[in-house]
Structure 1
Amino acid sequence: MAKPGTLYLVPTAIGGDPAAVLPPQTRERLCALTVFIVENPRSARQFLKGAGYPHPLQGIAMLTLDEHTRVSALPDLLAPLLAGRNCGLLSDAGAPAVADPGALLIRLAHERGVPVVPLVGPSALLLALMASGLNGQRFAFHGYLPVRAEERREKLLELEAESRRRDVTQIFIEAPYRNDVLVRAVLEACHDDTLFCIAADLSLPSELISTRRIKDWRRTPLHLDRRPAVFLLYRR
């Protein structure tokens, strides 16, 4: 039986030039791979091209792992690794398997004895948390909040209360086209003294990171439009 290959978890650029944000060791490992498990083949090819990938893109293997991939299909994605080939796991932006598909495949890799190696690179969630000034010792990521207004309000109040009770920073995201709706909901639902951080366009020249109390955000609200953003909430 062949020795299994290694599954490399390759962070992708969250904005701007991939070559400018990838450490040399990550780029070196990336450029040695010819099999990739990707969230979106088109964006993966764009990333590889921007990162200076040296091999012809027509000659590499790309297997798709997205939100629609069935659990029953995961063994097929693992097959190249079990046959001894190294593979790279790429998400559309940032760290794979963090707020993106991939966790179940990684778990299966561990079960089958496939080495898993995370590579260093951009993560929007960690960049936002680092720059927020909020509690970095205890934090929780909640993904997307409910779309329905009343359910979203209830969730925000729940997160705010839990933040105060457990001294935890609450982190969440939204589809960019609903950013302004979410910000308005936060400003309407939360207490005056709650801290709210908006981290938008991370790693881009237009990057904006600002932490203020809710009462201060209400005086000078920010219109994000469709800028990719991470939101953080903290109340003591």
Structure 2
Amino acid sequence: MNEPQQLGQLYLIPNRLGEQPPLEVMPLSVKKIIEKVDHYIVENEKVARQFIKKMVSSKSQDKLVINTLNKYTSELEIPSYLNACQEGYDIGLISDAGCPGVADPGAEIVELAHQKGIKVVPLVGPSSILLSLMASGLSGQSFTFHGYLPIDKNEKKRILKKLEAKSRQDNQTQLFIETPYRNNQLIEDILKTLHPQTRLCIAVNLTTNDEYIKTKSIEEWKTEHLDFHKQPAIFLFQA
């Protein structure tokens, strides 16, 4: 009788948050996994190949089998993405920045892996959500990440007021992000909307040489000249 084929594993591989040398911020364990894995699911193939090359310069790019997972991926394609695991090969799921499945595509692949009995192995790496929370001085006991706020100005202000009330009621930190070219407009809306004593942390370019993390009251922020146009940022506040 033939032995059942052993399933491969799905490794969740974090990526850098900036352009610094990857081994300055990535654990050696990530390098070791990339050395042995040839099958990948990635958000952007070019970005992923560059990251893999910087992590393991000796790795043959020609041997890599890469599937892309982004807003252009057909749902009909996704079930086949884990075929390699079912054939006994390990697969790496790589984010463009930070951790896969956290404010990033990948959760549906992980869910599918669980359904198929494939072992999911998360690897240690940088997460802007956790790094900014650690450095903010705001509550790390209770917090909520909201992703992107509405683009419409009135709806955005309504949500900000709602989140501020929630923060005050539950002593909870509220976190969110914005498309980098809209950072300055978001900051302007925050400063016009939130209570003067609400504490706001702005964390920009995390883990890079020009990292910026400051927490001040809304009242104090109003005296600052702020320009974070096109810079990756995360925003946290606590009322």
Q: TM-score interval w.r.t. the shorter chain? A: over 0.9
1:46 shift after superposition: 1.1
- In the TM superposition, 1:79-90 aligns within 5 A as 79-90=83-94
Q: Which residue of 2 aligns with 1:134?
A: 138
- In the TM superposition, 1:16-55 aligns within 5 A as 16-55=20-59
1:66 shift after superposition: 1.1
- Contact preservation (8 Å) 2:53, 2:59: no
Paired amino acid for 2:5 = A
Q: Which residue of 1 aligns with 2:17?
A: 14
Tell me if 1:116 matches 2:120.
yes
1:55 shift after superposition: 1.5
- Contact preservation (8 Å) 1:19, 1:52: no
| 1:159-214 alpha-carbon deviations (Å, 9 max, x no partner) | 11111111111000001000000000100000000010000010111100000000
Paired amino acid for 1:13 = R
* SS state at 1:219 partner: coil
Structure 1 distance, partners of 2:28, 2:82, is 27
- Contact preservation (8 Å) 1:9, 1:90: yes
Q: Which residue of 2 aligns with 1:78?
A: 82
* SS state at 2:129 partner: helix
* SS state at 1:188 partner: helix
Structure 1 distance, partners of 2:60, 2:54, is 13
Tell me if 1:177 matches 2:198.
no
- Contact preservation (8 Å) 1:8, 1:118: yes
Structure 2: stretches of 5+ with no match in the other structure: none
Q: What TM-score comes out, normalization by structure 1 length?
A: 0.97
Structure 2 distance, partners of 1:168, 1:50, is 39
Q: Which residue of 1 aligns with 2:199?
A: 195
Paired amino acid for 2:129 = L
How many residues end up aligned between the 2 structures? 235
- What is the aligned-residue RMSD (CA, Å)? 1.0
Structure 1: stretches of 5+ with no match in the other structure: none
The list of structure 1 runs, each at least 4 consecutive aligned residues, that deviate by more than 3 angstroms after superposition, is: none
